Amino acid sequence: MSNKLEIRKALSSDVDLLFNWTNDDLVRKHSFSSELIPYESHCKWYQKKIKDENSMFFIVEEDKTPAGLVRFDIENGAATIGVSIDKGFRGKGLGGQIIALGVQSYFSEKELPILASIKNENVASIKSFKKAGFSFFKDDVINGVESVVYQLKKNDE
């Protein structure tokens, strides 16, 4: 495996790819909303999101094969980051690299700090965010789930 990762903006045509990723068992397990997402709802949400100026969607590819997604939603003076990795690319230590690529693309256009909310039990995700330069910000409870929030500011990268 070459680990040559490239990043691009998500396209309208990526809707099915992201639908499959978002309904992956592990993604749903680690999400703060674990129910499966109906296709029609996903399509409406996705088309709205990729046009939203307060949302940035990136697809990370390895050798032209989609490996993961990094999404930023900007509100209240910060960007919340969301990451999904294709199941064929998990367990290969790519999480930190995928996050770092997304962060680099985000900070090339925006200045606001990035927040990552992660369930306490999602140790792999916490490690990936630390590897990408994020630092502990605070403990939190989201939808009744014990969580941590990690943060990265532009001058931290």
Q: Which domain holds residue 54?
A: 5-116
What is the number of domains present in the chain? 1
Domain-embedded: residue 125: no
What pLDDT is stored for residue 1 in this prediction?
41
Domain-embedded: residue 140: no
pTM of the model: 0.88
SS3 state at 86: coil
Domain-embedded: residue 109: yes
CATH number at residue 25: 3.40.630.30
Domain-embedded: residue 153: no
What pLDDT is stored for residue 55 in this prediction?
95
Domain-embedded: residue 148: no
What pLDDT is stored for residue 18 in this prediction?
87
Domain-embedded: residue 80: yes
What pLDDT is stored for residue 6 in this prediction?
95
Domain-embedded: residue 132: no
What pLDDT is stored for residue 153 in this prediction?
96
Residues of the chain with pLDDT under 70: 1-3, 27-30, 32-33, 157
Domain-embedded: residue 134: no
What pLDDT is stored for residue 2 in this prediction?
47
Per DSSP bridges, beta strands 78-85 and 114-119 are parallel
Strands in the chain per DSSP E: 5-9, 55-62, 65-75, 78-85, 114-119, 135-142, 145-152
